[in-house]
Chain A
Amino acid sequence: DTEVTQTPKHLVMGMTNKKSLKCEQHMGHRAMYWYKQKAKKPPELMFVYSYEKLSINESVPSRFSPECPNSSLLNLHLHALQPEDSALYLCASTQALNEKLFFGSGTQLSVL
């Protein structure tokens, strides 16, 4: 299994909703990432978990809350989002420092 699986593929939510994005990999990778990508822009790093501990938080607003319940799962909890948070949210994982990142196909999020 060489895939990173993200669910849901599409999500529409209101500004008062609470939702979660999920990411799963069974490659034994010990680092997992959340990236945000606006239309026609490059991905921007949000969070990195290394060995299930949050190692990088790129000054992301608290309305985004990551969680890594175990080495295979990564969640992104969403609460009170703004319309400008609408974007493609990409999850990725990597085994070691010199290895490539495997990306999921993303969750396309629309905040109304």
Chain B
Amino acid sequence: AQSVTQPDIHITVSEGASLELRCNYSYGATPYLFWYVQSPGQGLQLLLKYFSGDTLVQGIKGFEAEFKRSQSSFNLRKPSVHWSDAAEYFCAVGLHQTGANNLFFGTGTRLTVIP
């Protein structure tokens, strides 16, 4: 069965510091991988996605993620965090069922940014 693991429940970083959020997945085939960000009480916004091709993908807001098949990982990175990046971050695996995308989300990592 598919699963997504985000081992860090909460991460605190200083503004301007680098960031890496971890994501590991378990799936029988090459998955479709996503990172979403959610501010409190809001919907989810896609940061980036990986389907195939270049394993380093660039997203919005200066984020990037690297797909490593050997480690079953899709970690999210940002070289310099801004205070506005404080939010909940979800990694997700996408499955295709009956013509629709079915996303399985990790449990999320809450990012706190300190001045």
Instruction: State yes or no: do A and B come from one complex.
Output: yes
> What is the interface of chain A, defined by CB distance below 8 A to chain B?
4, 6, 30-31, 33, 40-45, 48-51, 55-56, 88, 90, 92, 94, 97-101, 103-106, 108
Name the distance in Å between B4's Cβ and chain A's nearest Cβ. Answer: 8
Name the distance in Å between A6's Cβ and chain B's nearest Cβ. Answer: 8
| B44 A43 Cβ-Cβ under 8 A | yes
Q: Please, how many angstroms separate the alpha-carbon atoms of A42 and B6 in the complex?
A: 11
Query: Given the complex, which residues of B lie within 8 Å of A33, measured CB to CB?
Result: 100
The main secondary structure of chain B at its interface with chain A is strand
> What is the interface of chain B, defined by CB distance below 8 A to chain A?
32, 34, 36, 41-46, 49, 51, 90, 96-108
| B44 A90 Cβ-Cβ under 8 A | yes
The main secondary structure of chain A at its interface with chain B is strand
| A50 B100 Cβ-Cβ under 8 A | yes
Name the one of A50, A104, A106 contacting B98, with C-beta atoms under 8 angstroms: A50
